[in-house]
Chain A
């Protein structure tokens, strides 16, 4: 017996917010961690940019009335053994964190791009040699590599940037080479060759744009790693020199006093941890959204 025909009334359309608000709310509902992390990152960025105007004190100012003082009304995050305001130093430290992070990733990405392109395009013995070189770099953890470079270059903020940057060339070079090989195998590269486009132009128009985009996505993921390595160097006393308000250095300075003045290491440590977590989540979110290899069917 066939089922009888039954007409069903269409359900009423549910009430919705206006379109732009709805879009933002959708994003909030779908990816709450990403949005939260993005907000935190932006807050740190704002702190870094606006530090001179927002920080209550000059970071190098030593307040004689409050030496190693616990958090209070005047110094909300306390002071260190020199009387310097920790909150101001943390805010200024955000500048150094971002500066070192972005610049070293830039160096690493540029170097990785050059090596990866050369390896992927030239092939043969050149590729082999370059990849063995990269293998050697990757054999050591980035912190150890950075220490090695500091030993050669010396200390100071710019040296830290170079050292961390060089240490990051390895992973970038590897992914760039893999992308170059993959793009080269695509039909449109062969088609361009058939049309008579010369090789240099093919690299410039067809291969490079398709390689740079995944590279940029990778770079956003590596920024947190760069900041961590730089802070690690400073913690070990091998990075920036005092009195630079860099978080790693601040944690190191507070190490001896940790039992009775925990805020000296605690506040910069918390700031570092928070920013790293936020950057990681943001980096992952960007990668999920934009990396073509991870694309799920939408």
Chain B
């Protein structure tokens, strides 16, 4: 994928928080502990790509998301959107960026102002970016609602009158209202009933394919990642440990953490697999060496000395491991 069409490019992006001993965040210099929420992230997202960011708590996926949408500035490295640094956009460029990148929050209900009706909520980005005449707004809103599978009369309702699944659909409709090129979703389907989740997954996949949107999807569920996204990046404690085409990575995971995630996901009638021992360590002041070494069953002496970098693995994949599992049986 040439750089010219890359939507996002993250080059060694880092995000460091300084905290003092009692655990409070503190700005300013001085002795304190470092919390590296993001550690030398390298990621390229091309136009029309669908990328899943997968990880557990503490993996930094939410922080990465915030850097991508410009809410948080990176401490080091460069985060580029279509070749321009996100932190240094001019105000006109920034306006365009805000139009092109739309976010769907995990807490969909919290992301909608409870005092506004659905029509006003969806129309807000349209009005803000002056995408149409005021007289056309109503029709466009109804068209969007229909697109996400909501009845037209929902436009006059308030979020408190809608169910959880419907609120998510309104959030998706609002994200589409600014005619974005990129949709960034933070666990957009978690915490829902399986039937609602399935409906929303179909909706998102359909929209992404029809409209050629670039989709960045954060999830902890590998199956959802596989259903929605063609590429996947697995994160652990602030680093991307593996990335590549979703099917390939999930069929034959190279990194032991990816394999552990796969084994931990429940599957019909499989007994609960040999699980990963230990807890996810604290991201504060990590020891040297691979950050997964403490829980990895394949850890060797080189794993405790130096942190592995993300390296090419096969045609289109990358993995950050000294001992990637190259020749094992595919995951059942």
A188/B110 in contact, CB under 8 A? yes
B110/A195 in contact, CB under 8 A? no
Question: What's the least CB distance linking B160 to chain A, in Å?
Answer: 10
Q: What's the Cα separation between A197 and B111 when bound, in Å? A: 14
Closest to B107 in A: A187
B111/A191 in contact, CB under 8 A? yes
Tell me which residues across on chain B come within 8 A of A191, comparing CB atoms.
103, 105, 111-112
Question: What's the least CB distance linking B98 to chain A, in Å?
Answer: 4
A195/B128 in contact, CB under 8 A? yes
A195/B111 in contact, CB under 8 A? no
Mask: chain B, 109-130; 1 = CB below 8 Å from A; 0 = not: 0111111100000001100110
Give the bracket for the number of chain A residues in contact with chain B: 10 to 19
Mask: chain A, 172-214; 1 = CB below 8 Å from B; 0 = not: 0000000000000011101110111100000001100110010
Tell me which residues across on chain A come within 8 A of B111, comparing CB atoms.
187-188, 190-191
Tell me which residues across on chain A come within 8 A of B113, comparing CB atoms.
188, 192, 205-206, 209-210
User: B interface vs A, CB < 8 Å?
Assistant: 69-71, 94-95, 98-99, 102-103, 105, 107, 110-116, 124-125, 128-129, 178
Subset of 21 A-B contacts with CB under 8 Å: A187-B107, A187-B111, A188-B112, A191-B103, A191-B111, A194-B69, A194-B98, A194-B103, A195-B98, A195-B124, A195-B178, A196-B94, A196-B98, A196-B99, A196-B128, A196-B129, A197-B124, A197-B128, A205-B124, A209-B113, A210-B113
Question: What's the least CB distance linking A58 to chain B, in Å?
Answer: 48
Of the listed residues A190, A191, A196, A213, the one surrounded by the most CB atoms of chain B closer than 10 A to its CB is A191
Closest to B129 in A: A196
CB < 8 Å A-B pair total:
48
Closest to B110 in A: A187
A-B pairs with lowest CB-CB distance, top 5: A196-B98, A187-B110, A187-B111, A191-B111, A188-B113
Contact of B124 among A187, A192, A209, A213 (CB under 8 A): A192
Closest to A191 in B: B111
Contact of A209 among B94, B99, B115, B178 (CB under 8 A): B115
A194/B71 in contact, CB under 8 A? yes
Question: What's the least CB distance linking B110 to chain A, in Å?
Answer: 4
Q: What's the Cα separation between A190 and B114 when bound, in Å? A: 14
Q: What's the Cα separation between A173 and B301 when bound, in Å? A: 62
Question: What's the least CB distance linking B82 to chain A, in Å?
Answer: 17
Tell me which residues across on chain A come within 8 A of B99, comparing CB atoms.
196
Tell me which residues across on chain A come within 8 A of B103, comparing CB atoms.
191, 194
Question: What's the least CB distance linking B178 to chain A, in Å?
Answer: 7
B71/A196 in contact, CB under 8 A? no
